[in-house]
Amino acid sequence: MDFQFSIILESIPTLLEGAKLTWIITLLGISGGMFFGVLAGLGRIAGTEALGEKPHGVFVPISFLIQKISGGYVETVRGTPIIVQAMFLYFAFPMLVKAIMDLERFRIEALTAAVITIMFNAGAYIAEIVRGAVISVDKGLVEAGMSLGITRFQLISHVIGPLALRRMIPPLGNQFIISLKDTSLFIVIGVGELTRQGQEIMASNFRALEIWLTVAIMYLIMTTVLAVTLRTFEKRMKMF
Partner 1 sequence: MANIIELKNVCKSFGNIEVLHNIDLTVEEGEVLVVIGPSGSGKSTLIRCINCLEMITSGELLVDTIRIPHERNRVRQIRLEVGMVFQQFNLFPHMTALENVAFGPHKARSVSKKEANEIARDLLNKVGLAEFENKLPGQLSGGQQQRVAIARALAVNPKVMLFDEPTSALDPEMIGEVLDVMKQIARESGMTMVVVTHEMGFASQVGNRLIFMDEGRIVEEGKPQEIMKNPTSERLKEFLAHVKHH
Question: For partner 1, which stretch binds (CB under 8 A), given 7-15, 17-25, 155-163, 184-192?
Answer: 155-163
Closest to partner 1 by CB, 216 or 237: 237
Closest C-alpha to 180, from 126, 118, 99: 118
HSE at residue 37, side-chain half, CA atoms within 13 A, is 29
Please tell me the number of Cα atoms within 13 Å of 142 on its side-chain side: 19
Question: What part of residues 209-238 is at the interface with partner 1 (CB under 8 A)?
Answer: 237-238
Check residue 162 for interaction with partner 1 (CB under 8 A).
Answer: yes
Binding string, residues 106-145; x marks residues near partner 1 by CB under 8 A: --------------------------------x-xx-xxx
Cβ count within 10 A of residue 172:
25
Verify binding: residue 154, partner 1, rule CB under 8 A: yes
C-alpha to C-alpha distances, 56 to 148, 149, 181, 230, nearest whole angstrom: 21, 18, 44, 39
Which of 102, 105, 236, 240 is close enough to bind partner 1 by CB under 8 A? 240
Residue at 210: amino acid letter:
E
DSSP character for 54?
P
Helices (H) and strands (E) in the chain, counts: 10, 0
Where in 67-106 is the site for partner 1 (CB under 8 A)?
A: none
Nearer to partner 1, 114 or 164 (CB): 164
Work out which of 163, 189, 194, 211 binds partner 1, going by CB under 8 A: 163
